[in-house]
Structure 1
Amino acid sequence: MPLHFDSIIFDLDGTLWNATESVTKAFQKAKNSVDYIHNDITLADVQAVTGQPFQAVYHRLFPTLPAEQREEFSALCAREELAHAQQYGGTLYPEVEATLRYLQSRYRLFIVSNCQVGYVEAFFEHSGLGHYFEGHQCFGTKMLPKADNIREIVAQYQLQAPAYVGDTRGDLEASQKSGVPFIFAAYGFGTLAPAEAELRLQQFSDLQQLL
């Protein structure tokens, strides 16, 4: 692991902000518009799948739904999720802007998320933090896994020593596959043993001490 990073790539949900309340409302609105989803979609349901690849979310939430209906419902949820993200946004974790301001003076900053197209832009609009980030990539652009999107950011911006900050096992695995050191946001939605992720944050502002 390099002793010096030149850039930091961030996950979004569970790392920079928590938008699960607005996403839950979006999914519930989509559920109310069809007659084949009978159980309410709860905040706990959404938190359990936050950060997973787009299609994996619906396979996990609705494993018995026929493929055609799952595809239709995922499209409805995606539309409502983006509309709710644009209208209501999410809640930034404490000290995010102050920490980004500190980091921007020392590192190049990016976002790679498993979200749909337009979601990162909604984050920028609601948070007012877009000017801290040099670039971003998401699953919805090319339907590529997170590891590939991390590699694309590294190649596109010619990063020499990046690190990836995320909060789930999927983030850890994407970092490993892309060959990028991982920093675990332990305050987010995932759980990792200390031996799995030695670099970890109990709060976002810990980055100022770590880096």
Structure 2
Amino acid sequence: MTAEGSSQLAIGRVGAGALVIDSVVFDLDGTLWDTSATCAIGWNRVLDRHGIAFRPITEHDVRRVTGQPHDACIREVFAGLPEAHVLTLMAETQLEDNKLVAQLGGELFPHVEAGLRRLAARYPLFIVSNCQAGYIEAFIQWSGLRACFRDFECWGNTGFTKAGNLRALVERNRIRHPLFVGDTPGDQAAARECGVPFLYVDYGFGVCRDVDRRFSSFADLTTWLLDPTPPTP
């Protein structure tokens, strides 16, 4: 059985093709919001604070690497700098990001706030991200959506891969039929590794192929989750 085929087993069936979904797990950046502009400010502040010679960082630089663990993002954007500078940037941009995101926030994608509130009335909702420790807390504080989420996990807390964190969250919360919503091939790979169906939102930062389901807006995703239909044979 293919990886895609095995992932379908995570959705139970009842009656004439109805789907059983007991929870929805979301990626964060590129799926629920975009903080690229805010993080670019933070990364430039760290460069200036330490007098590190480098070109100004733009939101496009941040967005290009979003979805990887924070350390990998820094290594890619600041390739060529001395290791001591890279290590400084790894440590301090995490803190600067969290501080600025808590203050300035980011851009919630259209219909995310209303959609999450509707979905939280129907399903337990969760977040799994490759972000640093404290970043998800900054998101739920700034967005006012804390009550929508039961639990979350991230690379910064555990050092695990996204698949490892997805698996840990599923096991910790005793979830049996989750879905994972994301926007990058890394999200898709994590879902398949865990045997969880993947819902791809194509308005985000990545391009995924051979997905279980594709949505072009959070409104469409919300509508489907509130009245899910089985995959076409």
Fold agreement, TM-score > 0.5: yes
- Give the TM-score range, shorter chain: over 0.9
The alignment status of 1:72 with 2:72, answered yes or no, reads no
Structure 1 residues 153-204: Cα deviation after superposition (integer angstroms, max 9, x where no partner): 10000000001111111111111112211111111111123xx214111011
TM-fit CA distance, 1:106: 2.1
Paired residues for 1:178-189 under 5 Å? 178-189=194-205
In the other structure, the counterpart of 2:40 is 24
If the length of structure 2 is used for normalisation, what is the TM-score? 0.86
Judged with a 3 Å threshold, the aligned counterparts in structure 2 of structure 1 residues 198 and 181 are, in CA distance, closer, same or farther, namely: closer
What amino acid does structure 2 have at the position aligned with 1:164? F
Q: What amino acid is aligned across from residue 210 of structure 1 in structure 2?
A: W
Provide the rounded CA distance (Å) in 1 between the counterparts of 2:207 and 2:162. 19
Aligned twin of 1:210 = 224
TM-score under structure 1 normalisation? Answer: 0.94
CA–CA distance in 2 between the matches of 1:208 and 1:145? 27
1:35-60 CA distances to partner (integer Å, 9 max, x unpaired)?
Answer: 33321111110110112111110121
Give ranges in structure 1 of 5+ residues lacking alignment: none
Measured after TM superposition, the shift of residue 19 of structure 1 is 1.0
Q: CA RMSD in A?
A: 1.3
Partner of 1:59: 75
Paired amino acid for 2:204: G
Please say if residues 31 and 183 of structure 2, whose CA atoms lie closer than 8 Å, have aligned partners that are also in contact: yes
Alignment size in residue pairs: 209
Identity, in percent, stands at 40
Q: Counterpart in 2 of 1:145?
A: 161
Residues 73-113 of structure 1: CA distance to partner in whole angstroms, max 9, x if unpaired? 11121121111111111111111122112212221100011
Q: What's the offset of the Cα at 1:22?
A: 0.5
Which consecutive segments of 4 or more residues in structure 1 shift more than 4 A? none
Task: Describe how 1:89-104 pairs up with structure 2 within 5 A.
Answer: 89-104=105-120
* Equivalence for 1:35: 51
Aligned counterparts of 2:57 and 2:68: Cα–Cα separation in 1: 17
Name the SS of the counterpart of 1:208 in structure 2: helix
